[in-house]
Amino acid sequence: MTTSRRDLLKIGALGGAALIAGFPGAEVSAQGSELTIAYNVNLPSWDPTVGPSAVNPTIQAIYQSVFDMYIAQNPDLSFAPGLLTKWGWNDDKTKVEMEVRDGVTWHDGSPFTAEDVAWSLERAGKPETGNPIQFVWSKIGNFKVDGNKITADVKEFEPVLFKWMSFLTGYVLPKAYYEKVGAEGFEKAPIGTGPYMMEKFERNAFVRLKANPNYWGGKPAFETVIIKFVPDSTSRVAEVESGSSQVTLEIPYDEFDRLKAKDGLAGITTPISDIGMIFLNDIDVMLDKNVRLAAHHAIDKQLIIDRLLNGYGIPIDTLETPQYAAYDASIKVGYDPEKAKTLLAASGFGPDKPVKFKIQTTKGFKPKDYEMIQAIVGMWRKVGIEAEIEIYEIAKHYELRAADTLAPAAFYNWGNAIGDPTTSTGFAMFGPSPHSVWDSKDLIDMIIPLWGEKDETKRIAGWKAVSKYIAEQGYVIPLLQYVQPIIHAKSVKVTPHVSGALLPALMSPA
Amino acid sequence: MSRNLLIRLGSTMVTLFGVALIVFILVRVVPGNPIAMMLPPGASDADIALLTAHYGLDKPIMTQFWIWLGRALQGDFGTSISLRQDVMSLIFGRLPATLELATLALLIAMALGGALAITAARFRGTAVETGIDLANGASLAMPDFLWGLTFILLFGVLIPVFAISGRVSPTLDLPFVTGFYLIESILRLRVDIFLDLMRHMLMPALALALPLAAVIAQLLKTSLKEAMQQDYVMLARTKGFSETRVLISEALRNAVIPTLTLAGVQFTFLIGGTVIVERLFSYEGLGNMAIDAVINRDLPLIQGIVLVFALIFVIINLIVDLSYALLNPRLRHG
């Protein structure tokens, strides 16, 4: 028997058709109890308390799905009982007292105990474990467990200690299980007490989560949650548009507006605890207060938000947003180009004799970052500031900032998911911090007493005063509070979290 | 022959050493310090020094290099800073995915390019050849990632036949023991998994294949047209063979050798091209991991990935050279 070319062609055509027919078409994951989320970052590691990923704010939503924090945080950033049902200081603030929730089990069915909390806190405070927030956790020690109660000695008073228990590395890990399987075993099969259990993990691809039927906060709405790691925003848009994923975030605002108008899709925008700002370094022309203030007054922040970010953003005058504990609405700097000109003139500068400096920015790291700086440089030019733009990678920014060698002006974004002033104004503006580049003694002297202030009212008032002083002196240029765009299928109800964490446990069928 | 092989192996070792040294120095002198990226808010100078020493970055670069080389020669390529796992196990965990994608792309490119070349040569001087030339020009003019975007919009969104991201559906449980999913699915006769893999791999593979297919088509067509002028082809014609049979049975056999050589060399570029395409399709290969490694300034992982890419390049070039010598009688006897 011979096979003719015609036969071969027929076989080829049939094979091709069979291949196409065999494809189930677009993945449909919004079926009943299954949810697929196209997430914008990869998950590098499963231990939420060590290594660089532990301090990556974007990854926390995945960690919070599997692990519980010591203290829970509501979507509006307020704190709520979590694995700790009670927490506080003794009267003279020399001890911490905590009470642990009863009836909680780990994902392997073993009981969660106060020993787990004490062990997790003790481990986090040891430098050799590599916890990046060890400098906070090491301030308490000598843990004593009595039933579901824990006490510990305060080695150094840290007013934000309990807020950190809802923040980076503030997770409770299973003592017995971790000691049994070790770091490597835990990486392969992590367990927590969180709303979801890790079922399958393919690095750089996806994680498949299964609802924890015994979750102390009630079984989550979706039985299975698939989080696909899709770092490219174009691909995330396509994922949602094709129906392959039901929820995604961090897409360009233009695409957000287009997608939310489509049938079957809806959009949510939430102001989150992430701001855009311009660091000023206390070098060269930035030592001149008039130049600093002029640079601030010359920026029309609302115009930038309207034109470049489709209106998604909120102008800010300090590093504190309305959701933060030390926000003071009375502190205003304001757009005033005439005042900017007057200030510059007082220092001998003007449109004909511009003051010159360099501004550094990332390009594409945050939405329209480079375009914003271009617009700002244009606004500055009108009042007599000639800024040269230098584009760098975010890694370079970190390096320069840690070495205190940033240019006189440098764009950056700053997150603060617990809304405390120490983790925004504090670390950004306190000279000795590796994250600050403004080192003037006046500001350092003003901030130092606040680190250990035991009276919370006085502490918050102190930080408000610091913010006011910074605004008056023009030590930094706060630009805007970011708004997070979330696109989702109308069949899914999504509750956004002001921290920016896209939490599957806050989603349910609509 | 064996002397030549020894010389090639020697030069391979020198090449790899050179690549290792250059990459080691480059990744350490380019802007972006991994320590600065992982500094906690309250880190003191002592903390920074401790962290720097912990990752061995406090020593002079050449000292770091010799330490790294000494360990690498014993098979220890270090631990990834961002993923906190052994570098080589991470790389070899992802390498099969990239190799399968690149091989699929190469097969598509050869099949497509070959078919176009034969068609153009068969209908040389007609509108068909002109049309194929134009199509080749268009394929070459667009880079692979733009083809990828086009396919995502066409076959991912408008006509959702293929999967937009990933290598395999997250809902599938794979019974495989190696990372070569495609090969294993065929060997285990798991048609369902094979189809699922193809649904994920065809778009990125096609995006990678199109520019290469155009190159193959152009080169093979030129070789075929030259071969069609040779005496042995004229002889075949006088025997009364059809034009198509002459083209495929006589001309193609001789014309294909330079194309195969080119395909081998291009395969190395194709593997390089997977970096962007894998990212676009969120494909869990080595290229995708390489981008994360660069973003995170994960020096040991960058070093390992580049070295493995270099090794693949060198091996493929070696195989191409040796095969060319075997395929070409003039070189074999020379």
pLDDT, tens only, B124-155: 888 998 999 999 898 888 888 999 999 999 99
Per the prediction, chain A carries an average pLDDT of 91
Instruction: Tell me whether residues B36 and A52 touch, CB distance under 8 A.
Output: no
The phi and psi torsions of B298 (rounded to 5 degrees) equal -85, 85
List the one residue out of A214, A215, A211, A216 whose CA is nearest residue A85. Answer: A216
Instruction: Tell me whether residues B165 and A135 touch, CB distance under 8 A.
Output: no
Q: How far is A25 from chain B (nearest CA, A)?
A: 5
Instruction: Tell me whether residues A230 and B282 touch, CB distance under 8 A.
Output: yes
DSSP assignment letter at A142: E
Q: How far is A234 from chain B (nearest CA, A)?
A: 8
pLDDT, residue B245, reads 81
The predicted-structure confidence for B57-66, as pLDDT tens digits, reads as follows 888 888 888 8
Instruction: Tell me whether residues B31 and A26 touch, CB distance under 8 A.
Output: no
H or E segment to which residue A236 belongs: helix A233-242
Task: Give CA–CA dist A88/A227, Å, rounded.
Answer: 36
pLDDT, residue A32, reads 56
Q: How far is B318 from chain A (nearest CA, A)?
A: 32
Task: Give CA–CA dist A62/A64, Å, rounded.
Answer: 5
Q: Retrieve residue A268's tokens.
A: 């949510």
Which residue(s) pair with A349 in the sheet? none
Beta strands in chain B (DSSP E): none
One-letter amino acid at B59 equals K
Read off the pLDDT band of A227 (50, 70, 90).
very high
The predicted-structure confidence for A258-294, as pLDDT tens digits, reads as follows 999 999 999 999 999 999 999 999 999 999 999 999 9
One-letter amino acid at B89 equals S
**How long a stretch of residues is chain A?**
510
Read off the pLDDT band of A11 (50, 70, 90).
very low
Instruction: Tell me whether residues A228 and B50 touch, CB distance under 8 A.
Output: no
| More confident position, B110 or A13 | B110
Grouping H, G, I as helix, E, B as strand and the rest as coil, residue A54 is helix
Q: How far is A308 from chain B (nearest CA, A)?
A: 24
Q: Are B113 and B216 in contact (CB under 8 A)?
A: yes
Instruction: Tell me whether residues B282 and A229 touch, CB distance under 8 A.
Output: yes
Per the prediction, chain B carries an average pLDDT of 85
Residue of A nearest to B146 (CA): A234
Name the residue facing B31 among A226, A238, A399 (closest C-beta).
A399
Q: Are B291 and B279 in contact (CB under 8 A)?
A: yes
pLDDT, residue B51, reads 75
Residue A483: pLDDT over 80 = yes
Name the residue facing B166 among A53, A205, A403 (closest C-beta).
A205
Task: Give CA–CA dist A324/A301, Å, rounded.
Answer: 20
Residue A153: pLDDT over 70 = yes
pLDDT, residue B334, reads 47
H or E segment to which residue A482 belongs: strand A476-489
Q: How far is A426 from chain B (nearest CA, A)?
A: 9
Residue B291: pLDDT over 60 = yes
All residues of chain B having their beta carbon less than 8 Å from the beta carbon of residue A127 are 50
All residues of chain A having their beta carbon less than 8 Å from the beta carbon of residue B171 are 29, 34, 208, 224, 226
Task: Give CA–CA dist A377/A389, Å, rounded.
Answer: 8
CA distances from B87 to A177, A229, B73, B271, B290 (A): 26, 21, 14, 20, 12
pLDDT, residue B33, reads 73
Residue of A nearest to B30 (CA): A396
Q: Read off the pLDDT of each residue in B261-278 and give the average, rounded to a whole number.
A: 85
Q: Which residues contact A390 (CB under 8 A, 6 or more apart)?
A: A358, A359, A360, A361, A407
Which residue(s) pair with A268 in the sheet? A486
H or E segment to which residue A249 belongs: strand A247-249
Task: Give CA–CA dist A405/A398, Å, rounded.
Answer: 10
List the one residue out of A409, A391, A397, A407 whose CA is nearest residue A296. Answer: A409
Residue B39: pLDDT over 80 = no
Instruction: Tell me whether residues B164 and A238 touch, CB distance under 8 A.
Output: yes
Instruction: Tell me whether residues A234 and B50 touch, CB distance under 8 A.
Output: no
Q: Read off the pLDDT of each residue in B77-83 and give the average, rounded to a whole number.
A: 85
Residue of B nearest to A133 (CA): B40
Q: Read off the pLDDT of each residue in A184-190 and give the average, rounded to a whole number.
A: 92
Write the burial class of residue A484 (CB in 10 Å: 0-12 exposed, 13-18 middle, 19+ buried). buried
Which residue reads 């996806």 in tokens?
A206
pLDDT, residue A6, reads 52
Instruction: Tell me whether residues A395 and B33 touch, CB distance under 8 A.
Output: yes
Which residue(s) pair with A483 in the sheet? A271
- When mean pLDDT is compared across A168-172, A469-473, B35-39, B296-300, the lowest value belongs to B35-39
| More confident position, A6 or B232 | B232
pLDDT, residue B327, reads 66
Instruction: Tell me whether residues B50 and A427 touch, CB distance under 8 A.
Output: no
Beta strands in A392-434 (DSSP E): 409-415
List the one residue out of A479, A510, A507, A444 whose CA is nearest residue A226. Answer: A507
Task: Give CA–CA dist B224/B233, Å, rounded.
Answer: 11
pLDDT, residue B328, reads 65
Which residue(s) pair with A201 in the sheet? A207
Read off the pLDDT band of A3 (50, 70, 90).
very low
pLDDT, residue B121, reads 87
pLDDT, residue A28, reads 40
pLDDT, residue A10, reads 52
| More confident position, B82 or B188 | B188
Percentage of chain B exceeding pLDDT 90: 33
Instruction: Tell me whether residues B288 and A204 touch, CB distance under 8 A.
Output: yes
- When mean pLDDT is compared across A286-290, A301-305, A372-376, B291-295, the lowest value belongs to B291-295
One-letter amino acid at B237 equals R
pLDDT, residue B29, reads 78
pLDDT, residue B1, reads 58
Name the residue facing B170 among A206, A239, A423 (closest C-beta).
A206
Q: How far is B30 from chain A (nearest CA, A)?
A: 9
Chain centre to alpha carbon of residue B94: 13
All residues of chain A having their beta carbon less than 8 Å from the beta carbon of residue B37 are 52, 395, 398-399
CA distances from A221 to A31, A33, A65, B249 (A): 13, 7, 13, 65
Task: Give CA–CA dist A81/A214, Å, rounded.
Answer: 17
pTM of this prediction? 0.85
Read off the pLDDT band of A76 (50, 70, 90).
very high
Which residue reads 């082809």 in tokens?
B233
- Rg of chain A, C-alpha, whole Å: 26
Torsion of CA B188, B189, B191, B195, to 10 degrees: 60
Q: Read off the pLDDT of each residue in B188-202 and give the average, rounded to a whole number.
A: 94
Residue B262: pLDDT over 60 = yes
The predicted-structure confidence for A362-397, as pLDDT tens digits, reads as follows 988 888 999 999 999 999 999 999 999 999 888 888
* Long-range CB contacts for residues A298-302, cutoff 8 Å, separation at least 24: A298/A335, A298/A337, A298/A340, A298/A379, A298/A380, A298/A382, A298/A383, A298/A385, A299/A335, A299/A376, A299/A379, A299/A380, A299/A477, A299/A479, A300/A335, A300/A379, A301/A335, A301/A479, A301/A480, A302/A335
A395-429 per-residue burial string, b: 16 or more CB within 10 A, e: under 16: bbbbbbbbeeebbbbbbbbbbbbbbbbbbbbbbbb
Residue of B nearest to A414 (CA): B41
One-letter amino acid at A428 equals A
Instruction: Tell me whether residues A241 and B157 touch, CB distance under 8 A.
Output: yes
Q: A-B interface: how many C-beta pairs under 8 angstroms?
A: 179
Residue of B nearest to A392 (CA): B31
Instruction: Tell me whether residues A202 and B170 touch, CB distance under 8 A.
Output: yes
Name the residue facing A239 among B164, B171, B297 (closest C-beta).
B164
Read off the pLDDT band of B185 (50, 70, 90).
very high
Q: Retrieve residue B215's tokens.
A: 């190159």
Residue A135: pLDDT over 70 = yes
pLDDT, residue B228, reads 81
Residue A8: pLDDT over 70 = no
Return the top range by mean pLDDT from A58-62, A295-299, B107-111, B219-223: A295-299
- Rg of chain B, C-alpha, whole Å: 24
CA atoms lying within 13 Å on the CB side of residue B68: 26
Instruction: Tell me whether residues A230 and B165 touch, CB distance under 8 A.
Output: yes
CA distances from B189 to A11, B105, B162, B185, B248 (A): 20, 22, 21, 6, 33
Task: Give CA–CA dist B51/B57, Å, rounded.
Answer: 9
Q: Pairing state of beta strands A385-391 and A355-361?
A: parallel
All residues of chain B having their beta carbon less than 8 Å from the beta carbon of residue A200 are 170, 173
Residue A399: pLDDT over 90 = no
Instruction: Tell me whether residues A403 and B163 touch, CB distance under 8 A.
Output: no
- When mean pLDDT is compared across A383-387, A411-415, A443-447, B44-48, the lowest value belongs to B44-48
pLDDT, residue B230, reads 81
pLDDT, residue A20, reads 46
Separation of first and last alpha carbons in chain A: 61
Residue B170: pLDDT over 60 = yes
DSSP assignment letter at B207: H
DSSP string, A25-43: -S----STTEEEEEESS--
pLDDT, residue B191, reads 92
Q: Retrieve residue A197's tokens.
A: 């259990």
Percentage of chain A exceeding pLDDT 90: 81
Which residue(s) pair with A313 in the sheet? A482
Q: Which residues contact A324 (CB under 8 A, 6 or more apart)?
A: A273, A416, A419, A420, A421, A424
Grouping H, G, I as helix, E, B as strand and the rest as coil, residue A193 is coil
Percentage of chain B exceeding pLDDT 70: 94
Which residue(s) pair with A101 in the sheet? none
pLDDT, residue A57, reads 83
pLDDT, residue A21, reads 47
Task: Give CA–CA dist B200/A71, Å, rounded.
Answer: 41
